[in-house]
Amino acid sequence: MATVVVMPQLGNSVESCLIISWQVKVGDEVAVDGVLCEVETDKASMEVPSTEAGTVLAILWDEGDDVPVKEPLVVVGAAGEDPQPALDAAGWKGKDGEAEEAESAAAPVEAPADEPATSAPASSDQPQAAGSGNAGTSPRARNLASSSNIDINAVPQGSGPGGRVIERDVQAVLAAGGTTLAAARAGALPGQGTGLGGRVATADLGKEAPAEAPQAAPFLTSGAREYPGPSTATPVKGIRKVIAERMMHSLASSAQLTYTSTAKAAGLLSLRKKLKGSPEELGLNKVTIGDLVGFAAVKAAAKNTNHNGHLEDGVFTTFENVHLGMAVDTPRGLLVPTVRNASQMSLREFSTTSKDLAFQAIDGKINPDLLAGATFTVSNLGGFGIESFTPLLNVPQVAILGVDAIFPRAVINDDGTVGAEQRIGFSLTADHRVIDGADAARFLQDLVRYIENIDITVLG
C-alpha cells in the first residue's frame, strides 16, 4: 500500500527545510532510514531518512524548494502502484496549494488533440496552459508564464516527469528572450524581436526578418584582455541568506556600540602550556586559549547580568544562568551553537562540550535546537590575527564579545626601561538601549581581571 513520507521536523524551532539535493529518483528502492534527500534548515544541513520501505513512486518537490515541515515529501509503495490515492488521503493539494497530479513515473494522461493538456481555459489575455507536445504544466509554471505574459506553448518540451512543463522551463524561455502571446500566435520565436533581450513584441509582427546582424566583438582593454573577464554569480540562499537577513535585522533593530580593551596575556599563555602538558587522564590537556577566554567571559556575563539577557518587544529579560553562544566557522557559513548552562560547568566540561558542539556544527549534524537559546555570545577571530573588529549582536541578545589576537605591545618597566609584553584584545558590542557605556566598561574591567588571573578564575 502506497504511503506518504512527510518532511520531518528536524528540531523544535525548524519550520521549513530547503531541499539541497535528492538522493533518490522515481523507481528507486528505498529502505527504512535510507536517505531520501539532503536538506538545509536556517541553521544546518542534514539528511532526511525514509520512514517507509519500498519503491519511490512520486517525488513532490524540486531541488531548491523550501518545504514546510510535516508536508508530504515523497510517496513510497509497491512498484507500479498509483501514488494518487495516498496523496488524496493525505490532503495533498500540490506544493503551490492547487490540486495537481503527483509527478510520478506513471504515464501521463494525454489530452485530446483539440484540447489543452490541462484544465486551465485559454483566453485572449491569458497564456495557454500547456506546452507543445508535453504532459501538462505545473501551477508554478502557469503562474510565471501569466505574470510574464509568456505563451507557455513556446516551451517545446518540459523537463518534468513525462515532459511536464515546470517553472524552470518557463524561466529558460524568459532567459532566451521570451515570446508574447500575440507574437506566439503569429509564429514568432524567442530572440527574433526588438524587445528587451531579443524578446518578440507585438510591434515586431508583420516585419520581414532582418538580415543576421554582425556579432559584436567583445570589449577589450589594453593588451587585448577581455573585460570584465570570468565571473561567478551565486544566488544568496539557504544559511547564507538567513545570515544576511539576520545581520540586517540586527543592525536595524538595535542600538549597537562597540567598546575595546586589552589584557595581559602572560597568564593565559602560561596556563595553556601547563594544561597541554598535564596528564591525559585529567582531561585538561586539550584545553585551548579559546576555552580559557570563553570560560572567563562566562564568569563576566554571570556577574554583569545586564549583559546576559534578551530585549524583545519592549521587555528586557535577564538570566541567572549563562547559555553561551559560540560563533563557529563552518563550510555552510556562520553557525552559533549554544553551550547550555555554561556558567555551571567546570573548565573541563566547558572545554569538552564546546568542542563537541563545534564539531557537530562543522559536520552539519547538529540538532537545530542547539543553535538557539543563547543569552550571551562570544566570537573569536584571534586565530586569524584580527586585532580589533565590531561583532554584531545576535538579537534578541544585548551583548556579544569579540576576542582578538594576542599581540606584543611596548611597555615601560618599573625601572624605566622599555620592554614588550603579550596582550589580548577584546571588542564588546552592547545594545545601548539597555546597557550604558559605564556598564560595558565594568564588564570589560571584570573580564580583564579574570583573564589576567586566569589560574584563579578556573578554580572558581
Q: Are 69 and 53 in contact (CB under 8 A)?
A: no
Question: At residue 87, what are phi and psi to the nearest 5 degrees?
Answer: -70, -40
Per the annotation, the verdict on 432 as an active-site residue is yes
CA gyration radius, the chain = 30
Q: Are 378 and 296 in contact (CB under 8 A)?
A: no
CA angle (64, 69, 70) in 5-degree steps: 125
Cβ neighbours of residue 445 closer than 8 Å, sequence gap 6 or more? 261
Question: At residue 215, what are phi and psi to the nearest 5 degrees?
Answer: -70, 130
Q: Are 259 and 440 in contact (CB under 8 A)?
A: yes
Residue with cell 615601560: 412
Cα–Cα dist 217/195, whole Å: 21
Candidates 307, 341, 335, 250; CA nearest to 437 is: 307
Q: Are 170 and 150 in contact (CB under 8 A)?
A: yes
Cβ neighbours of residue 235 closer than 8 Å, sequence gap 6 or more? none
Cα–Cα dist 38/55, whole Å: 19
Candidates 164, 25, 135, 169; CA nearest to 151 is: 169
The single residue of 436, 439, 446, 455 carrying the catalytic annotation is 436
Written as nine digits, the cell of 180 is: 508574447
Per the annotation, the verdict on 310 as an active-site residue is no
Written as nine digits, the cell of 5 is: 513520507
The single residue of 28, 62, 369, 432 carrying the catalytic annotation is 432
Cβ neighbours of residue 296 closer than 8 Å, sequence gap 6 or more? 447, 450, 451, 454, 457
Catalytic amino acids?
A: 432, 436
